[in-house]
Amino acid sequence: MSVRYQRVGNAAVITIDRPERRNAIDRATAEALLSAWRSFDADPTALVGILTGAGGCFCAGVDLLALDLIEQAEGWLGHSRPTVSKPTIAAVAGYAVAGGLELALWCDLRVAGADAVFGCYERRFGVPLADGGTQRLPRVVGLGRALDMILTGRPVDAEEAWRMGLVNRLVPAGAELEEALRLAEALAAFPQETMRSDRRCVYQGLGRSLEEGLAIEAAAARRVLGDAVAGAARFAAGEGRSGAGVEAG
């Protein structure tokens, strides 16, 4: 199988497994990715999704030798246009380039090993960014940095990616999946309804005016007030003082 789906604790680990092709995406792999993310979203016991690649490489993008992808409503790469309802993390080793960069950007957070390399390598061959790269990259790193990457296609190493905010956690090479799993368990320990509501508000507010965004936030907050009351009671009873239990970085 070109995609493996594995439960590890509270996480679902989705692994692109075509190391002989640097985990490049052909049609069968795109369809398998879509199926895997649907399985994750439908499983109430899987609280965080992790996307990674086998063999020390995240994903080199479209398989230009197969070149058998077709555009579907969900995107060329299988799942780049729909969203899921729960947090997602990309665990990146080696190359996350072209469509691989777009898949990493689809995730909420990115954990990278020191050997990770990011870039819009499709620039060399006239292949467009068609799986969210032109929209998500500026939102993550800002317009100037995004245009630099998109127009030049240059490689961005893990250290630079971390400095520009493309990477959220930078770890030694080979430790990226372990760190992603640790982060996933930290997220899984929080009250889920409120965290998912706040995550949804962030995405729903993108591109809207501040007033519209505040209205989205206010409506969502009212729906989870029960969690807030329960959490306040736990704090009053002595839990979580001085930030205990909060992810430190």
**pTM of the shown model:** 0.92
* Sign for the pseudo-dihedral over CA of 224, 230, 233, 238: negative
Q: What gap in Å lies between CA 23 and CA 69, rounded to an integer?
A: 14
Task: Calculate mean pLDDT across residues 202-213.
Answer: 96
Q: Which residues are catalytic?
A: 102, 122
**DSSP assignment of 35-77:** HHHHHHHH-TT--EEEEEESTT--B--B-TTT------TT-TT
The pLDDT confidence band at residue 244, using thresholds 50, 70 and 90, is: low
If you ran DSSP here, which 8-state letter would residue 196 be given? H
Our CA angle for 219, 86, 246, nearest 5°, is 85
The pLDDT confidence band at residue 71, using thresholds 50, 70 and 90, is: very high
Give the CATH number of domain 3-188; options: 3.30.413.10, 2.60.120.10, 3.90.226.10, 3.30.70.2500.
3.90.226.10
Q: What gap in Å lies between CA 21 and CA 245, rounded to an integer?
A: 41
Measured over all CA atoms, what is the biggest interatomic distance in the chain, rounded to whole angstroms?
61
What are the backbone angles phi and psi of residue 117, rounded to the nearest 5°?
Answer: -135, 130
Residues 92-111: pLDDT tens digits?
A: 999 999 999 999 999 999 99
The pLDDT confidence band at residue 225, using thresholds 50, 70 and 90, is: confident
pLDDT for 208 equals 97
N-term to C-term CA, the chain: 34
Instruction: Kindly list the domain boundaries of the chain, sorted by start residue.
Output: 3-188, 192-243
